[in-house]
Amino acid sequence: MNSFAPLSGLTFTKMHGLGNDFVVVDARLPGPRVTPALAQSLGDRNRGVGFDQLAEIRASDRADLRLDFWNADGTLSGACGNATRCVAARVMDQKGTDSLRIETAAGVLQALRRDDGRISVNMGPPQRGWAEIPLARDVDPLALPLAGVPAAIGMGNPHCIHVVSDADAIALDEIGPLIEHDPLFPQRTNVEFVQVRADGSLRLRVWERGAGVTLACGSGACATAVATHLLGLTPPAVEIEMDGGWLSIDWRDDGVWMTGPTAHVFDGTLAPAWIEAMA
Ligand SMILES: N[C@@H](CCC[C@H](N)C(=O)O)C(=O)O
């Protein structure tokens, strides 16, 4: 017997989509419930496991499963595109299927495995009205009264998209938190800086609400593709390069489809003593 094996505790799976990394916990199994404090402690990259988001699987009577998303700061989000694709990939592997329906706070989402192994999720229609995004007051979501005149789009979570000439020149870790907490966003916001390249692809960098700079953001890529299309800069289907790699986004009649790779990194068990010390 491995003498380092924990006796019992909370099991989890570590996954990532383009370096946007996740701890996946199956709350249908016995074990401690996820709370804001547990999410925050688990998200600590030094004292916990570390993640951008924690995806909590729960039972659903409307779909194959339900997912709830926790940010590293212990707050909940209505959507997480990359975690949805990652969990879909793992569950499809386990069930031997190529399609899955996943209930989220933003609705029931369809996930599919493509022939090349990439996973697609239909994130549903974007929210374009100021109250649904939500914004604090009635302003034009495509021309916000903020520096740089960014656009706001909801994908089950709020996004503030800035079109810039050089996305790599932006001091994301300085500007990101200021916009995340701007009073125009009553639920705070994710913050995107996007550059439209000569070949029609997009270069995107994201400051995530509740997580900071991440290597990729699925809902951010969807919101950005919607915004650049509405602004007349791109067709409805576009390739987006983030720091962690590429996502294909396609805004169709039935919703915004997002396609990209996923990776299963490892499975683990939290030591009971760690859980007790954290409580
Ligand atoms: N990484 C995500 C978005 C996660 C949630 C976000 N930080 C929020 O609070 O809305 C994605 O892939 O969509």
pLDDT, tens digit, 9 for 90 and up, residues 4-29: 444 456 899 999 999 999 999 999 98
2 annotated as ligand-binding: no
Say yes or no: CB of residue 218 within 6 Å of ligand 1.
Answer: yes
Known binding residue 209? Answer is yes
Asked if 112 and 162 sit in the same domain, the reply is no
Alpha carbons 254 and 276: distance in angstroms, whole number: 46
Tokens (6 digits) for 165: 């000439």
Asked whether residue 217 carries a pLDDT value surpassing 90, the answer given is yes
Q: Are residues 77 and 106 in the same domain?
A: yes
What pLDDT is attached to residue 277? 85
Residues 29 and 98 reside in one and the same domain: yes
Q: What's the pLDDT at 2?
A: 41
d(CA 153, CA 264): 30
Q: What is the ipTM of this complex?
A: 0.98
So what's the pLDDT on residue 8? 58
**pLDDT tens digits for 250-264?**
999 999 999 999 999
The rounded distance, in Å, linking the Cα atoms of 161 and 170 is: 13
List, for residues 107-116, the tens digit of each pLDDT value. Answer: 999 999 999 9
Residue 3 is predicted with a pLDDT of: 46
Residue 129: inside a domain, yes or no?
no
**139-167 confidence digits (pLDDT tens):** 999 999 999 999 999 999 999 999 999 99
Q: What is the pLDDT of residue 1?
A: 38
- Look at residue 63 and tell me whether its pLDDT is greater than 90: yes
Whether 113 is covered by a domain: the verdict is yes
100 found inside a domain = yes
Query: For ligand 1, what atom is nearest to the CA of residue 211?
Result: 7
C-beta of residue 1 within 8 angstroms of C-beta of residue 31: no
**Ligand 1 proximity of 242 Cβ (cutoff 6 Å):** no
149-153, 181-185, 219-223, 273-277: the lowest-pLDDT one? 273-277
| pLDDT, the chain, mean | 95
| Residue 182 in domain | yes
Residue 59 sits in a domain whose CATH number is 3.10.310.10
Alpha carbon of 77 to ligand 1 centroid (Å):
7
**b vs e for 215-246, b when ≥16 Cβ sit within 10 Å of the residue's Cβ?**
bbbbbbbbbbbbbbbbeeebeeebbbbbbbeb
Q: Is 86 a catalytic residue?
A: no
Beta bridge partners, 54, equal 23, 70
209 ligand 1 Cβ < 6 A: yes
Total of domains in the chain: 2
pLDDT at res. 231: 98
- pTM for the full model? 0.96
| Residue found by looking up tokens 């229609």 in the block | 125
200 and 274 fall within a common domain: no
Ligand 1, atom nearest to 222 Cα? 13
| 8 annotated among ligand-binding-site residues | no
Are 45 and 82 in the same domain? yes
Residues 268 and 249 reside in one and the same domain: no
Do residue 87 and residue 160 come from a single domain?
Answer: no
Domain that holds residue 169: 151-253
Assigned domain for 142 exists? no
What pLDDT score does 6 carry? 45
CB atoms within 10 A of CB 248: 17
Residue 136 is assigned to a structural domain of this protein? no
Pocket test for ligand 1, best of 16, 23, 68, 69 (most atoms within 8 A of CB): 69
User: Is the preceding omega at residue 272 within 30 degrees of 0, hence cis?
Assistant: no
Residue 130 lies in a domain: no
State if residue 190 touches ligand 1 by the CB under 6 angstroms criterion.
yes
- How many A from CA of 216 to the centre of ligand 1? 9
Any domain includes 141: no
Are 109 and 205 members of one domain?
no
